[in-house]
Amino acid sequence: MNTNFLCPKCRNYLNVGENLVFSTRNRIGKEGLILLHPQLGDYSIVKHPDFEIGKGELIDFFCPFCNKKLVSDRNANLAKVLMLDEQGSEYEIHFSRISGQHSTYKIIGKSVEIYGEDAADYFDFLNMGNL
């Protein structure tokens, strides 16, 4: 079994091939697809060249199936998806919705793994003591 990523709302798979697929909306309301690398800590993206996203821009992420907004319940600047690892364990994955900001959190129970040079920006907001 491979690592899979799921929408937390409808539980459909978000990964296709070597990418996670999201529908997104930028600050001016233009919509586009974004493909993210599934390796936590790899912040490469693929998008159409005409879908403009400015550095520091807050992006809305949506499930391409149910169209629900994938905003984190821990902080509005983070998106949330679920990850199933090869052993079948389910994790919450929270990642920054701010373009160019590298912060990702893998959470199961009280255990948190952090990724990205900007991860410290959200320690207080994640309520780490209340996990």
**Both tokens assigned to 129:** 């003591």
Kindly list the distances between the CA atom of residue 16 and the CA atoms of 7, 78, 82, 115, in Å, as whole numbers in the listed order.
Answer: 13, 22, 15, 22
State the number of CA atoms in the 13 A half-sphere of 122 facing the CB: 27
Q: What is the pLDDT along the chain (131 residues), one digit of tens a residue?
A: 489 999 999 999 999 999 999 999 999 999 999 999 999 999 999 999 999 999 999 999 999 999 999 999 989 999 999 999 999 999 999 999 999 999 999 999 989 999 999 999 887 766 655 44
Rg of the chain over all Cα atoms, to the nearest angstrom = 14
According to the model, what pLDDT value does residue 100 have? 95
- pTM: predicted TM-score of the whole model, two decimal places: 0.92
